[in-house]
Amino acid sequence: MKKAADILLSGGLVAFPTETVYGLGADAYNSGALVKIFEAKNRPFFDPLIIHIAAIETLEEVADLSVLDEKTKYRLFLLAEKLWPGPLSIILPKSDKIPGVATAGLSTAAIRFPSHETAQNLISLSSGAVAAPSANPFGSLSPTRAEHVMDSLGEKADMILDGGPARIGVESTVIDITGKEIRILRHGGTPKETIESCIGKVFCEDSCEVDTKKSLVSPGQLKSHYAPKTPLLVFNMEEILSLPCKKDTALLFFDNSSRDSWLKERSAHNIHTAVLSACGNVSEAASRLFETLHELDKSGFSGIYAQLAPQKGLGQAINDRLLRACESFKKLP
């Protein structure tokens, strides 16, 4: 850990586990190091990074809280108190200490206090603020294991810390609390319902209707994202039975009962099927999503047909990722 922290302090890149996905970290106060993140990921400079902290006191170092009105301060207090550390990134006015390259020139920064112990140790042992996007090439599947980072970024990181599989498996929820309405900019590890029980009504773009031209509030809302190399199409349960299935296509079901009813109807036993959660638990399904897509991607199928999850809890994050991964970004006819 000391060695990893020293790499960060001397301007290098360290990939590290968090409870959501693996991140590719650089010292958030060092613009030269930040540039390396964009280069390693082939990430456009207009896509801002998340700043990770490991102590609530650091919030005042990375964000300018003095400009917040009382209502926003109270929302922030509630969220930080109830949902941090955890899979939630909060958009706040950035402090002058954070270089503009970290936030793509925006006056705001996304701040997150992760709960993973290794992440917290690394952040605390280094400068206290670590900028980290997911540790994958821009647009591709996010890494939920150290091996995924090794395979996709390899030598581009000066060190990879292996903390085993990520517990949550989808990225943090990104929320903007500074406006009149509270908005979810990206569905993720903290479900909308959890946030609403904490600070009231929250608005969000419907994943299926995100318009990249209109919506540049969160540049990460670009439609084509989180994509496996294998073409992927999404469907709901009604569409499933009419799917033209070729032998070299894989089917990704949400739960066993969906798979069983499909098998019963189709008696297509020569088609590869995978299931995200046997009993249909959305959290388990989320934790296995990227992992399963990585596996299917490696198996050489010509296509993946994926079933949408129920649109509740972490199901919203699953569907968001599936729809963005969907090759043509349209449901099957």
Nearer to Mg ion, 135 or 199 (CB): 135
- Per-residue contact flags (x/-) with ligand TXA for residues 7 to 46, judged by CB under 6 A: -----------x-xx-x-----------------------
Helix (H, G, I), strand (E, B) or coil at 63: strand
Contacts 24+ apart (CB under 8 A), 63-69: 63/92, 63/93, 63/94, 63/95, 63/109, 63/111, 64/92, 64/93, 64/94, 64/95, 64/96, 65/92, 65/93, 67/93, 68/92, 68/93, 68/178
The Cβ of residue 291 has, within 10 Å, a number of other Cβ atoms equal to 18
> Out of ligand TXA, Mg ion, none, which partner does residue 50 contact, by CB within 5 to 8 A per kind?
ligand TXA
223-262 core/surface letters (b: 16 or more CB in 10 A; e: else): eebbbbebbbbbbeeebbeebebeeebbbbbbbeebbeeb
Binding ligand TXA by CB under 6 A: which of 12, 85, 133, 169?
133
> Out of ligand TXA, Mg ion, none, which partner does residue 326 contact, by CB within 5 to 8 A per kind?
none
Nearer to Mg ion, 290 or 301 (CB): 290
- Per-residue contact flags (x/-) with Mg ion for residues 112 to 151, judged by CB under 5 A: ----------------------x-----------------
Binding part of the chain for ligand TXA, among 106-114, 285-293, 296-304, 312-320 by CB under 6 A, reads 106-114
Residue 222, Cβ density class (10 Å: 0-12 exposed, 13-18 middle, ≥19 buried): middle
103 binds ligand TXA (CB under 6 A): yes
CB of 291 to ligand TXA, least distance (A): 15
The pair phi, psi for residue 289, each rounded to 5°, is: -60, -60
CB of 139 to Mg ion, least distance (A): 9
Binding ligand TXA by CB under 6 A: which of 219, 231, 303, 310?
219
Which tokens hold the place of 38? 């964009």
CA-to-CA dists, residue 217 to 37, 117, 204, 212, angstroms = 22, 31, 12, 10
109 binds ligand TXA (CB under 6 A): yes
The pair phi, psi for residue 24, each rounded to 5°, is: -110, 105
Binding ligand TXA by CB under 6 A: which of 183, 186, 187, 192?
186
Nearer to ligand TXA, 171 or 297 (CB): 171
174 binds ligand TXA (CB under 6 A): yes
- Residue ranges binding ligand TXA (CB under 6 A): 18, 20-21, 23, 47-50, 87, 89, 91, 103, 106, 108-110, 112, 132-134, 171-172, 174, 185-186, 218-220
